[in-house]
Amino acid sequence: MANMGDIVICRCEEVTYGQLQATAEKHNCTARELKLRTRAGMGFCGGRTCRPSLDRILESVTPAIAPGEIPLKYQPPIRPVTFGTVGENL
């Protein structure tokens, strides 16, 4: 198994667990700060894929936060598109 820090959490923005953990610990981030500093959750899926993992990382770094208190919202695209459709123009 790969090193835990090398696991990609946000596939859209290619943000790893190690990057998220280090940023959260270094800056004692709120959910919004972590998202803005790393761009995790800001890709094509709007956080629908990585949001649960981001929440868990924040809970582990900031123990005073309750699971329902993390103030991030999902921002899906106006209309869902497949990754194949997005990549066709490359």
The count of structural domains within the chain is 1
Question: Biggest alpha carbon distance in the chain?
Answer: 45
Of 69, 73, 44, nearest to 58 by C-alpha is 69
Tell me the CA end-to-end span of the chain in Å, nearest whole number.
32
1, pLDDT greater than 60 = no
Q: pLDDT tens across 25-70, in order? A: 888 877 778 888 998 888 887 787 888 888 787 777 766 666 555 5
Instruction: Identify the pLDDT of residue 4.
Output: 81
Q: Which CATH number fits the domain that encloses residue 13?
A: 1.10.10
> Which structural domain range is residue 57 located in?
4-87
Q: Hey, what amino acid is at 17? A: Y
CA 56/CA 39 separation, integer angstroms = 17
71, pLDDT greater than 70 = no
Q: pLDDT tens across 5-28, in order? A: 889 998 889 999 999 889 988 888
Instruction: Identify the pLDDT of residue 76.
Output: 57
77, pLDDT greater than 60 = no
Of 17, 23, 56, nearest to 37 by C-alpha is 23
